[in-house]
Structure 1
Amino acid sequence: MKLYGYYRSSTSFRLRIALELKGLEYENIPVNLLQSEQKAKDFTSRNAFGSVPMLEADGRDRAQSMALIEWLDEAYPEPALLPTDIEDRYTARELAYAIATELHAPLNLPILKYLGSEYGKSQEEIGEWYRHWLARTLDPLEKRLEQVGSGDFLFDGPGFFEVCLLPQMYNARRFSFDFSDKPRMERIERACLALPAFQRAHPDNQPDNPERTAQ
């Protein structure tokens, strides 16, 4: 497997976590979003979306992180990312897709660049935009987490939901989002970050992280 991604991309981070939890070996191939390498002709000829992550696996290039994660769970069913019980699977998808569908679109890099280049918004104003939309989804998400459990994870261990939550929390902290009123999220985050799979997938430990390569 070859994973084309960017160290700080939340969607790339999602897929790295899923691959690590599955114990699957893969080659990490950096794609620099800041230099728009994902829009190069040789890349878009393989991935028409011009996005990361892209996974080269089983003779095919695959795009779109959520579809990729579910494909991995079907192609490599052990250990499972989704629970066995149909209602638990629904809950995991409900919470994960709240992040994937409500937050990624308004908060991804092209949108943030557009706010600055086309509307003249300052970095401070862009940060306010970012935190506003985070709160619109993460506030009710915390309430749902309080309703469905109180443990270290959504269910017995990390899975589909945690794969989506941790990257979003990582990016939210980059924009100074306050999690002090979200103890369930912070508990899950602490439990996940203590695990080797999440540590290996973390942006701090990726080969294209400039802070890592400068050391």
Structure 2
Amino acid sequence: MTASLTLYSYWRSTTSYRVRAALNLKGVPFETVPVDLLTGAQRDAGYSKMNPGKGVPTLVLEDGSVLTQSLAILDYIEARWPEPALLPADPLARARVQAAAYTMAVDVHPVNNLRVVTHLRDAYGADTDGAMDWMRHWMVEGFTAFEALVRDDTPFAFGHAPDLADLCLVAQVYNARRWGVDLTPFPKVRRIEAACLDVPAIAAAHPDQQPDAS
């Protein structure tokens, strides 16, 4: 099947990672267009007109419609391609999956993304060690909460197949390993990461497998 969707992403972006994984799991073909965040490509006039938030990912649909913000994109993907489901149909179970997912996507990611850490350095004089301590602190806080929210009797966060919580977690664990977070206190996090990376569709979404990986 020819790709009809275009995903603007950056290889190390956790938000792009989770969207790539969702599209792969659902068997939706897409073309990747790299946006180099380190060189400021997200601030170029053409790109920022498409995505006023000047971030990634951006998903361009077949008719040219543009979607931004990873959670909104994931919601669209789930509605349009409902199988395999990333959210349970039962309202209570759905809310629990979303709570765990948002712990990563809403509590941890926003305070640790590139623009925030850059502002910490530029505006408040944080050195490299200080910036890394900041990121590690919020990841540990998030993983501690995540451990308490998910099940301990299933390979994935809430069952035997990956869901939204798993995709948000595995992307954040990539960052945690990159920045040297000690994951020993988080056995559920480590178990879920291993289960996710055993799924070919998720493994193919890993940053190291992207065309712009360096």
TM-score scaled by length of structure 1: 0.93
| CA distance in 1: counterparts of 2:131 and 2:18, whole angstroms | 24
Alignment equivalent of 2:174, drawn from 150, 170, 175: 170
* 1:140 positional shift: 1.9
- The unaligned stretches of length 5 or more in structure 1 are 211-215
1:150 counterpart letter in structure 2: D
- 1:28-177 to 2 correspondences below 5 Å: 28-59=32-63, 60-145=65-150, 148-154=151-157, 155-177=159-181
Q: Could you say which residue in structure 1 is the equivalent of 2:209? A: 205
1:156 counterpart letter in structure 2: H
Two-structure CA RMSD over aligned residues (Å): 1.1
SS of residue paired to 1:28: strand
| CA distance in 1: counterparts of 2:19 and 2:201, whole angstroms | 12
Matched pairs, number = 208
8 A contact 1:150–1:184 mirrored in 2 = no
8 A contact 1:14–1:167 mirrored in 2 = yes
2:147 counterpart letter in structure 1: E
| CA distance in 2: counterparts of 1:206 and 1:140, whole angstroms | 30
Alignment equivalent of 1:179, drawn from 177, 180, 183: 183
Report whether the alignment pairs 1:18 with 2:22.
yes
1:205 counterpart letter in structure 2: Q
1:135 counterpart letter in structure 2: V
1:123 counterpart letter in structure 2: T
SS of residue paired to 1:45: helix
* 1:85 positional shift: 1.9
| CA distance in 1: counterparts of 2:62 and 2:98, whole angstroms | 26
Q: Structure 1 segments of 4 or more deviating over 6 A? A: none
SS of residue paired to 2:56: coil
TM-score scaled by length of structure 2: 0.94
* Identity rate, percent: 37
8 A contact 2:156–2:195 mirrored in 1 = yes
| CA distance in 2: counterparts of 1:5 and 1:152, whole angstroms | 29
Q: Could you say which residue in structure 2 is the equivalent of 1:213? A: none
Cα deviation code 1:52-110 (max 9, x no counterpart)? 00000132010000011011000111111111222111111010011111111110001
| CA distance in 1: counterparts of 2:145 and 2:55, whole angstroms | 29
